[in-house]
Structures are given as C-alpha cells and as structure tokens.
Chains A and B, each alone.
Chain A
Amino acid sequence: MERATADGDLELRFAAFADAHRERARRLAWRLVGGDDAAADDVAQDAFVRAWLGLARFRGDASLGTWFYRILVRQAAQHRRWRGLRELWGGLGNPDAADPRPRPDGDPALRARIQAALEKLPRGQREAFVLVHLEEFTVAEAAEILGKAVGTVKSHLHRALTALRRDLGDLAAEGTES
C-alpha cells in the first residue's frame, strides 16, 4: 500500500517534471542531434517514454532531472549512431534539409556554421559543451549525466572551447552580440 502510494507520488512528480522540462528536453535533443526538428521531437519523446516506463527502476540516488537527462543524452547518441549508419549505407541523410521549421529570427548561415563546428567535435566534448555552456547545467550535473568524472568533463570543456575558438573565433570579438 505504501509502495503504491510512493509509486503514485513518483508518477505525479514525474508528470510535473515532464510538463516543466518539455521545452528544455527538446532543445537539448535538438542541439545534440545537430539541429534536426523531427529528430529532436523523436529523441525527446522517446526519452520521456523510457523514463516514464522505467520510473519503477528509479532509485532516487540521483535527482529526477539528472536521471531523465542521462536517458535523453543516451537516446540522442543512439540516434546519431543510427543516422550515421543510414548515411553510410544508404546516403539517406541530408544535413542541409535538417531545418523544416526555420526560425523566423536569427541567421541561418551562422546556425549552419555553428552546427558544422559542433559536429566536428568528438562526442564527449560536444555533449559536455552543450550541457554546460548551452543548457547551463553545472559541471557536476553534467558529469553525473554523462557518467564521467568532473575532471574529465572539465577537460572536455577546455578542448571543446579551444576547437570552437579556432572555427568560430570571429564570434568572440566584441560588438558581435545580436
């Protein structure tokens, strides 16, 4: 009985969490899969479903957020692997067609440049950079989400910034903010 109540409480908490984190989850997925709207929807929805179905296995020793975003990051990585395979075998992937709902604001060329620069990063660096610098997780949270040591994440962040400075250095100049 107590267990059922606890499970019910957890489901309510997760429903509230899903409502509050829908936008962030989709944005993180969008950034991790390289700016593809449909893929971002798919990855984020799949992460919510997996988390929902796996609530019974949630042990509570991580925060609900960390646990959920770990699932999402893995789903995004899996999507990228499958996409890589599809591109390898069938040439189905077309990075230029990955913007079916273009933003009314912003610079599409700049977005494409950033996407290309992020795609060049190794997976660990890209995930750490997106989590910490773009999604504003703390380094400790990112380390827990990625299942890596804090020092490793810091190293990834340093290397990612070095690479991005090389590819997107002009964005660091003063007076370039929009």
Chain B
Amino acid sequence: MTRPPISHDPDRPALAPGDARLVARVRDAFAPAPMSGPERARFDAAVQERVERARRRRLAWPALGAGLAAASLAALFVVRQPAPTGAPPLVAETEAPAASVRLASAWAGELLYGEAYEDDGIEEYEALPAEYAAIAGMLLDYD
C-alpha cells in the first residue's frame, strides 16, 4: 500500500525524498489491522456500555450525597433533643455551695493546723481569745 508523497501538501513540512520514503514505510508497516464488522460492533457496544455506566455513576453520586446529608441532619437532630422528663439526670446533682465552702475550709484548716483541726473548729476559732481570734480572722479570712 503506497500513498502519494506527502511533501506536496502545503500544510505539511516538506520532506526530502529519502525522508518521505522512510515516513511512508513506517506509516504502512506500523498500523493495526483494520477492524472487521463484528469488531466494529463490539467496539461500539463497549463505548455505549461505558457511557451508560458513567451516566449511572453520575446519577448515583448526588443521590448518595443527599442520603449522607439527610443522615447527618437526622443524627444532629437526635443529639440536640432535650432529655425526657422523669429520666435520671445525666450528671449527679452537686452539693450545695455552702457544703463546698465548708469542705474547702476544712481542707485549708487541715493543711494549716494538722489533723487535729476539724471544720467544726469554727467553734475552736470562736473559742480563741479575742485578740487571737482577730489575728486568725485576718490570716484565714474568717468573717
């Protein structure tokens, strides 16, 4: 299969006769066998099948995304709901602030005065002579 030399085409680079022969030989020898009728049909069917598959994938992605978004919203809604009335509290109720203060002062007293000190030592504090009670009040911030 010999084709006319391509060097006469104004849109192509001009080739020397030897190069033109080389190119023509390469063009003729390095080509696939032409497709037969059944091969063409198989090729077209494969293209069609790939197009359909890609279209299905394109449709599936937005649906999957919408499903995920809906599931996320639902999960968020459930988490934000208030606990039903009558249910046990999630966190144990805290002790009264006064009790906390008493515990803290007991800890501070123990630290300052040793194990002998007890929080009901307010009584002990009150039992001190007046001038010592005033100094203790200044140091320990007792009012």
Contact = CB atoms under 8 A, between A and B. Distances in A.
A binds B: yes
Interface of A: 18, 22-23, 26-27, 30-31, 35, 37, 40-41, 44-46, 48-49, 52-53, 101-104, 106-107, 110-111, 114-115, 118, 132-134, 136, 138-140, 154, 157-158, 161, 164-165, 168-169, 171-174, 176-178
Interface in B34-64: 34-35, 40, 43-44, 46-47, 50-51, 54-55, 58
A103 B33 contact: yes
- Ordered nearest first, which 8 A-B pairs have the shortest CB separation? A138-B11, A172-B18, A172-B22, A171-B25, A30-B32, A114-B30, A49-B50, A103-B33
B84 to A, nearest CB: 52
B19 A49 contact: no
Q: Chain B binding site: helix, strand, loop or mixed by DSSP?
A: helix
Interface of B: 1-2, 6, 9, 11-13, 15, 18-19, 21-35, 40, 43-44, 46-47, 50-51, 54-55, 58
A167 B38 CA distance: 37
B12 A139 contact: yes
A138 B30 CA distance: 20
Nearest to A48: B47
A23 B54 contact: no
B29 A138 contact: no
B43 A45 contact: yes
Nearest to B30: A114
Nearest to A161: B19
B50 A31 contact: no
Contacts of A40: 32
A139 B25 contact: no
Best-surrounded residue of B1, B6, B23, B58 (most CB of chain A within 10 A) = B23
Nearest to A40: B32
Given A136-B6, A178-B28, A172 B50 contact: no
A18 B117 CA distance: 98
Nearest to B55: A53
